[in-house]
Structure 1
């Protein structure tokens, strides 16, 4: 599922949205380094600068998602998209995948606007990519049949590792990572979290707390521990950043 065996031509044909996004990454990066282009113009006008957004330059809520500060930054995010974008584009369809990606990026950038100083400047597609992780996690929790157990474990492991690395690496927009992940998860969870799901969740919780019945899924405590750890790490990291 996350192993790419297609030829370059087949990849573009099968996954046009992922291909176009990566092409935009590369083109915009080249615009910022090649001498024949006004390099500074792109950063000055497309990066996320909270002060300018507050002054009405609202396009900066989306354009930073396609900008990157260095070759390694662009390469890592594009490589992550190559690995984890195609499977989701195939499951959701081209239009819905693009919607999830862009909205996750916007949620991450809006959170950055609201929670970071007015002088804060940022670029990168990490918030949108974390949104894809969040959407995958929603699938794992609400539509288990769409992913094999092995692939689900890969996603959960990488999500936890990526979240931990968010607080260990310098110059990371922690706010964008956290809220991109949350935004993607909510986009995936909301359509399925109806009254029946809520009632079932309450019943399962009551059964576990009251009698520890054996017919409760053995995965539930594991999920509880994993998501408890994620929430604790996220909260502690965010408070430390403040």
Structure 2
């Protein structure tokens, strides 16, 4: 069984359980104020394994399934048996790192909460985009485009919405998870950077 599938099963099970146990949902979601006041740093990790509703969970887990399996196999090819640890590090640390800006921004707001695996999923997706920028990314199985174009649109939208500060979506987690994913891939496999440039240089719209 792949690490990706194990992560999905665990996340679905915990999210489902938390929906039926509000006290657990409250205890595990990221609340920056409580992290500081009660030293509950575990929330940086646990918040990535619970979701707000079924739609939120489905979108994140489908995204992880479609991209994660490929990155997991790639890491196995590049790093051998250690590849699974590289992959887990990318995903788990992606969740943690993506929440740090949110933690800093809302550390004095006792009412702010954040949850979901979006930071980790974004890290995996953008690691894939750096390695294979021409990889086709499809939105809702209908609108498909090369990964690097999707990446530019995704980062631009996340930055814009983060500055607006409206709604309940943690756009900072999306953006910083994506940045972490690219940096991680560039560090562990430096050849991905010139490869990225070369592949984009060969791309033609028609």
TM over 0.5: yes
In the alignment, the residues of structure 2 paired with residue 140 and residue 150 of structure 1 have an alpha-carbon distance, to the nearest angstrom, of 6
Higher radius of gyration, 1 or 2 = 1
Q: Which of residues 86, 104, 107 in structure 2 aligns to 1:114? A: 104
Match status 1:65 vs 2:48: yes
Deviation at 1:58, TM superposition (A): 0.5
Unaligned 5+ runs, structure 1: 1-12, 142-148, 201-215, 223-242
Instruction: Give RMSD over aligned pairs.
Output: 2.9
In the alignment, the residues of structure 1 paired with residue 67 and residue 199 of structure 2 have an alpha-carbon distance, to the nearest angstrom, of 27
How many residue pairs end up in the alignment?
178
Match status 1:175 vs 2:172: yes
Change in CA separation of 1:219 and 1:116 when aligned onto 2, cut-off 3 Å: same
Match status 1:44 vs 2:21: no
In the alignment, the residues of structure 2 paired with residue 218 and residue 19 of structure 1 have an alpha-carbon distance, to the nearest angstrom, of 30
Higher RCO (C-alpha 8 Å, min separation 6): 2
Indicate conservation of the 8 Å contact 1:115/1:175, yes or no. Answer: no
Question: In the alignment, what sits opposite 1:103?
Answer: 93
Change in CA separation of 1:50 and 1:82 when aligned onto 2, cut-off 3 Å: same
Deviation at 1:151, TM superposition (A): 4.8
Q: TM-score, normalised by structure 1?
A: 0.64
Question: In the alignment, what sits opposite 1:226?
Answer: none
Change in CA separation of 1:84 and 1:220 when aligned onto 2, cut-off 3 Å: same
Question: In the alignment, what sits opposite 2:68?
Answer: 85
SS at match of 1:121: coil
Unaligned 5+ runs, structure 2: 76-82, 138-144
Q: Which of residues 17, 21, 27 in structure 2 aligns to 1:31? A: 17
Runs of 4 or more above 3 Å deviation? 149-154, 160-170, 191-194, 216-222
Indicate conservation of the 8 Å contact 2:127/2:185, yes or no. Answer: yes
Indicate conservation of the 8 Å contact 1:62/1:109, yes or no. Answer: no
SS at match of 1:58: coil
Question: In the alignment, what sits opposite 1:20?
Answer: 6
Q: Say which is worse superposed, 126-135 or 115-124, in terms of deviation.
A: 115-124
In the alignment, the residues of structure 1 paired with residue 177 and residue 8 of structure 2 have an alpha-carbon distance, to the nearest angstrom, of 19
Indicate conservation of the 8 Å contact 1:85/1:132, yes or no. Answer: yes
Question: In the alignment, what sits opposite 2:117?
Answer: 125
